[in-house]
Structure 1
Amino acid sequence: MHSPETPFDHFLIKLRTAEGCRVVARFAQEVPAPAEQRLRLLRLGLAGQTLYEIDEQELERGGLSFTIDTVRDYGRRFPQAQLCYLIGADHVATLPAWRESEELARLVELVVIPRPGQPSTPLPPPFRGRELTGFPLGVSSSQIRSRIKRGLSIQGLVPDAVAEAIRNSKLYL
């Protein structure tokens, strides 16, 4: 199983950390697989983990879902929590174009996941946050999907149960 710091780019995850941050992971704009199948993969990937809790609110909300809406909901549900938002370094430059980006910047602290071989990207104002150090995530979810599409192995990149479910469901081909 992957380290507890592994970000999942397509689902919201509530993480209980020593710092008390509520972590919100970004939904991709592309829809690589139906939500129900992605939820099943997430459940398989987190089986036996106690640090994570899956929050299905964006699936239950239906229709288009925006990060700012989810962050506001977390702010209401956890008013004393510092909200942290996981984002891959490759997405930092897009932040100013996000819906209500200035409000998002006010409500969350970013936790930037570095990508190997890419230089650190400064956060655009008014965003604040930090880079997750000591955790070079060598592959992104889009790279995993690309490997599957090309018939390459994803062994070691995802939990075995997830790889098996992807293979059996013929996802991402």
Structure 2
Amino acid sequence: MAGHKILVIDDSKVIRMRVRDMLPDGDFQVLEAKDGVEGLNLIRQERPNLIMLDFLLPRLSGWEVYQELQLEQSLQAIPLVIMSGRKEEVTDKLSEPFEFFEFIEKPFEKHQLQGAIKGAITKSKQPRIRTGAAPLKVAAPSIDTSEVAALHQRIEGLEDEVANLKKALAQLVKFVKQKI
């Protein structure tokens, strides 16, 4: 039995096999999942020592799997490498610098994968200041009261304009009915 478990969650069998082939030699077992639901179940059952997570997955996306991992303190400590063909997919949801995981853009080479794994292990050892869903929340923007007042005035003007248009439409309908 292998000493460590590495979980590769990707809907592409080719990517899963490629990652398996690129991993350094060692005493570990590679587990595979083809979607987010299967991956999350394996994470909870097997408690892997490293997770390689594709960001776009069927049934449960990599983003949703990441959110679930952040809700459980014991799962937050597992080194995580997020993989994606487009970095923008990840940065749309999580801003850089990535504090709690390492990112690798597909396609990647063996040395890039090994560097990402080392980085993920280092980041997993960093203390977490935030717990639960806190890292996912965004601060509310500050509200400029003068802008709000200007918007209210604009709304009142638009409401007057709509009322005038309704009157004009009623007159037009009345005129058409007289001509028919």
TM-score after normalising by structure 2: 0.31
More helix by share: 2
Which of structures 1 and 2 has the bigger CA Rg?
A: 2
Which gives a bigger RCO, structure 1 or 2 (Cα 8 Å, sep 6+)? 1
